[in-house]
Structure 1
Amino acid sequence: MDLTDDEILKVIEHFKDIGYSMSGDGIDDDTDLDDIDDSNFSEEEANEDEDDEDLVDDEEEDDEKESIENLDVSNLDNLNNDVKVNDSVKIYLKDIGKVPLLTAEQEKELAKRILKGDTNARNQLITANLRLVVSIAKHRIGRGMPFLDLIEEGNLGLMKAVEKFDYTKNFKFSTYATWWIKQAINRAIADQARTIRIPVHMVETINKISKHSRALVQKLGREPTAEEISEDMQGALSPQKIRDIQKISLEPVSLETPIGEEDDSKLGDFVEDKENLSPTEYATREMIKSKLNEVMGELTDREERVLRLRYGLDDNRPRTLEEVGKEFGVTRERIRQIEAKAIRKLRHPNRQKKLEDYRS
C-alpha cells in the first residue's frame, strides 16, 4: 500500500507522540541501492545542491562545487582543517590523493573493459573517483553520521555507479557517479541518523525547505514564516504543509540530557508528570484531607462511614446507595436519608468556615 505525503506525516507524528522509536525496519523507502531505478537520471539532478548544504554557507558551497577533474590533494588537505578527522581518516585521504585522476577517454576505455568482466578496470575506476565521494560526504557532516561512515556509504554508491555506468550515453562518469553517491549517502542518513526514521523523499523535502528558510533568514534578518517560505518556493508546498513538515523534522531530545553548568540535573527533572500531583497540589490535598477529617469527626460514626463510602473518600471508589445499603444491612432509602442528614451538618456555617480557604 502506498501512502501519500500527508498520510506519512500523520504516521510519523503519531509515533513521535507516543514516543516510539523506529529504526531502519520502519517505513520502507527503497533504502537498498539495488532497488533504486536510475532510468530517470539526469545531469541536472546530479548537479543539484538543494539537499546538500545544511551546514555550510553559500560561499563554501560555491568552493565545493567542483567536478572530479578539479579535485586534487590540496582539497583533501584543506578538509583536515575544516573537519575534525581522526588519524585513520587522514591516512585514507592521503592515500586516495595519490591516485591520478582519469580523463574522459580513459573512463570510457575502462567502462568497456568492465563490460567484458575486467576486475582490474573496475577497481581502477573506483579508486580514481574516491576523492569525489569525500567531496560530497563533506557536505553531509553534522547530519547524524560520522564522517568516515558517510564516506563508506558514498563508496557503496560509487561502486554501484561503476556497475551501472553506460558509456554509450555520452555523459561523464563523474556526473553519473555523483548521482549514485548522493543517493547512497542520503538514504543512509535517512535510515540511520534519526531516532524516528523519515522516508528518504520526505528528508529531501525537509532539506529543500531548510535551504529556502536559510536564504530567507539572510534576506529578512529573522526566521521566515511558513507563508514566506511557501512563497519563496513558488507555491510548491502550502504553508500548512510546510508547518507539518517542520514539526516532524524536529529531532527528539532525551530526557537524560544534562542541564546546568555542572550537569547535575537532567531535562527530565523539569518535565511535569501530569499523571501525578505536583508538590504544591499534593500538599494542598493533604491539608484539605486533614481539615475534612477534622470536620467529619463531628458526625456520628454511621454518618461519617456513609459519606466516606458514597464519595470514595478513602479509596477513590464512590459507591451507589444500594451498595452502601448492603454494607449496613438497610435499604437504599435509609442510606439516602443518613447521607442527607450528614451533609446538612457539614453545611453548618461553623463547619463550612473551616473549609472555605480550600474551595476552588
Structure 2
Amino acid sequence: MLSVALACIVLCSGCAGSPAPTAGPTSPATASADPSDQDVAMARPGPFESTGDSPDILVQSPRPIDADLVARAAATQGVARLEQFSLATFYREGEAITYAAVDPATFRQFTPGPTAVLDALWDRVADGEIGLRPDLRTALAGPGDFVTLGNDDNAQRAHVAAYAPLVPHSAIGALLNERWADRLHLPKGNALVVSTRFAAPGPVVRRLRRVLGTRASVSLLAPNVVPDQALSAVLTGGSVAAAVGSFSYTANPDGTVDPEARWVRTHIRTERVPILGAVTCNRAMLPALRRALTRVVEAGLATEVHADEYGGCYVPRFIAHDPARGLSFHTFGTAIDLNVPGNRRGTAGTIDRRVVAILVRCGFAWGGTWRYTDPMHFELAAIRSC
C-alpha cells in the first residue's frame, strides 16, 4: 500500500535550494522558483514526527473564526486535535480549485502518510511553493510547473513543489504556506481540520455544530457524505475576486445552491445592458458588460450576439450540477454564456471572433482558449476601461 501511494507523489525539479530527492516518477519539467516567492517564505518545518491524527471533520466559514470560538471547538468532547488554517477557491479554465494556506510544520499531520513524511515537499511549501493534488496536474500546471492562482490578469503564480495526495475526502486540491494569506487576500483562519482519533466522528460533528451555530459549517470528511449545513465560498485571485465578495451557501439535491440572502442583496443586481436587455449579474461585472456590449454595437456587430440564445449570468449551481466539482463561476454572477446552441463545450464555436476580441479587450476571459474549450463562456478577468 505504501509503495502504491508513493507512486502518486512526484517531486518537481529545479526548485530553489539544493536538488531534491524524488519519490515515484520524476517530473520532466525543470524550472526555478518564482523570485516573488521570497517574501512568502517561512521557516522550514524540520523532520516529521507523527502525532497519530487524521482528518475527520472540516469546519469552514467565509470569515475568520475568532480565537474564543476555536478554543470552544478544541474543548468539545471527542476533539483530539484541531488545526486552524485559511481556505479559499480560485478558478482556472472554468474549474474550481479549493486551496488551503497552512502551517507546514503542523498541517502535514492531516495528510496521508506518504505525503506527511516527505520532508522535501513541506520544505518547499515553506519556501513559498505549492503542493498540488496529482489529478490537477494536467488542468492547472503550465510551463515549468507553475500554477496561476486565479483567472484575473494580475493573479499570482506559484511553482509546484510536488504532486501528492492531500486531505482525503475533501475538496482541497492545493496547499500553500500561511504567509500567502496576505498576498492572496484570504480571510485568515477561516477553517479548521479536526481529528477525533479514537472517538466516533459523527457525534463530534453534531456537538461542534451546537458550539459553532451559524458562524461556521461543519462537515464529516468521509466518502459519499452530502453536507447538510451551509458551506462557504471564498473567491481569490486578484482585483475581480476582491470585488465579488464571499458568502455562505446551502446545497440542493438538484445541484443548485442557495447563496446567503445578505450577499445576494448586496452583490447581485438586475439591470439592462445593450443587446441582451435585462440581465442579472454581480454588481462588479455589470459596468464591464455594459461597456463591452456598447463597443459591440458601435462596431456594427450587434446582430452577431443573439439575445434569444443568452445562457445567463447569475446561475447559482455546482459545475455540471456535481458537488464534487465545486461551485460554477456563474454562482458569483461574473460569467455569461452567449450564443449557446452554436458554441458547445469541446468545439471551436461559431461566435464571431471580432465580438470575442472586444470582450477580451474589456476585461473578459474567453472559454474558447481553454484546453477543453467552452466558446459560449466569458468571465470577468480584469476590471478595466475599454
Task: Give the TM bin, normalised by the shorter chain.
Answer: under 0.3
More helix by share: 1
Return the index of the structure with the highest Cα Rg. Answer: 1
Bigger strand share: 2
